[in-house]
Structure 1
Amino acid sequence: MSSVSSTDAAASRERRRTMNRITDGIRELGVVMTVLNLRAGEQVGLRDVEMKALDVLMRDGAMSAKALGQRLGMHPATMTGILDKLEKAGWVTRERDPDDRRVVLIQPVRERVGEIIRLFAGMNTSATAMLDKYDTGQLETIADFLGSVVGLAKQASTAWR
């Protein structure tokens, strides 16, 4: 009987160690991605938050300044300053929403964001090659896990408002 409980205890310790490796990995990923984003921003003359704004616009498409500010957790006045700088530097345009002329949409300038896409091309190619070693079921598990982590982070960040 004691061998079963010691086996269970060992399995439990191993599980906790693995879970700690995963949570430590998530934290380290945040640090490494922040450094990568800062270095990429230096290449094109943008701050981290400006890079984040462009990333959201590149992935999600045009949106209002209010929606972008909410997505980034930014105060409207701060978001306006960021967008003014991005527009002046030719990274975004402001255009009236054809469906609601009261709304102004922020649109990334395709040619300019191509500069950022090119910066990350090597990493994206490497990421695709890395993911190729997983089967579809494993990829679905990874995607589910990452979606859950994003959800937890969003939930935690809104709790601090």
Structure 2
Amino acid sequence: MPQKSSAPRRSTLLAELAVTSRRYMASYALFNQAVADHLGLHPTDLQCLNLLGLEAGPVTTGRVAELTGLTTGSATRLVDRLERAGYVTRARDTADRRRVLVATVPDRMAEFGAVWERLNGGWAALFEAYDDDEVAFLIAHMRRTAELSAAQVERLRDGGAP
């Protein structure tokens, strides 16, 4: 159970968290942009590839839209760009010829993975500094953050106020 802190300390910590989280998000966005630039991709395309690499197999463009929070039209244009760059192919679903599946290209994904592998050493060292309970907390935080982000994206896409 989390410990409660005094009101003044809590207020100070929450103010610091607000500033630190903004710096964290900006640094990740800039890191994402740098990796995308290195690979000659748009940052959204980079993260789409990241998400496609986590899927069990080929997916529909509708699934790409779900994964990325994009509209189906934007997801189609994203897949077009990835196809032109050689990272994905499209093929008719053999079980349902009406559906088109988007599949990653193994050789290109291996190149993509090699870039992440070279960058992972620093992240691995960073996380080694934490004990098991802290790592478990980070995992829980990241899952909750991803869920909240997805909900916020959906709200914004539906025309809700930020």
Q: Classify the TM-score, shorter chain.
A: 0.7 to 0.9
Task: Name the stretch that deviates more: 49-58 or 129-138.
Answer: 129-138
Alignment of 1:128-139 (within 5 A): 128-139=124-135
Match of 2:25 in 1: 30
Higher RCO (C-alpha 8 Å, min separation 6): 1
Please state if 1:44 is matched with 2:39: yes
The structure whose residues are more often helix, as a share, is 1
Please state if 1:105 is matched with 2:101: yes
Cα deviation code 1:114-155 (max 9, x no counterpart) = 222222324312211221222222211111112112222222
One-letter code aligned to 2:68: L
One-letter code aligned to 1:123: L
Q: 1:99 to 1:24 in 2, by over 3 A?
A: farther
Which structure 1 residue ranges, 5 or more long, are not aligned?
1-7
Match of 1:3 in 2: none
Task: Name the stretch that deviates more: 26-35 or 16-25.
Answer: 16-25
Alignment of 1:68-107 (within 5 A): 68-107=64-103
Distance 2:21 2:82 in 1: 30
Please state if 1:65 is matched with 2:61: yes
* Contact preservation (8 Å) 2:59, 2:101: yes
Distance 2:11 2:91 in 1: 52
* Among candidates 107, 127, 142, match of residue 138 of structure 2: 142
Aligned residue for 2:148, secondary structure, equals: helix
Cα deviation code 1:40-70 (max 9, x no counterpart) = 1112211112112111101224311011112
Aligned residue for 1:59, secondary structure, equals: coil
Q: 1:107 to 1:26 in 2, by over 3 A?
A: farther
Structure with greater Cα Rg: 1
* Contact preservation (8 Å) 1:40, 1:116: no
Please state if 1:20 is matched with 2:15: yes
TM-score by length of 1: 0.82
Which structure 2 residue ranges, 5 or more long, are not aligned?
none
* Among candidates 100, 120, 124, match of residue 116 of structure 2: 120
Q: 1:101 to 1:27 in 2, by over 3 A?
A: farther
One-letter code aligned to 1:33: Y
* Contact preservation (8 Å) 1:91, 1:112: yes
Q: How many residues align?
A: 153
TM-score by length of 2: 0.82
% identical equivalent positions:
21
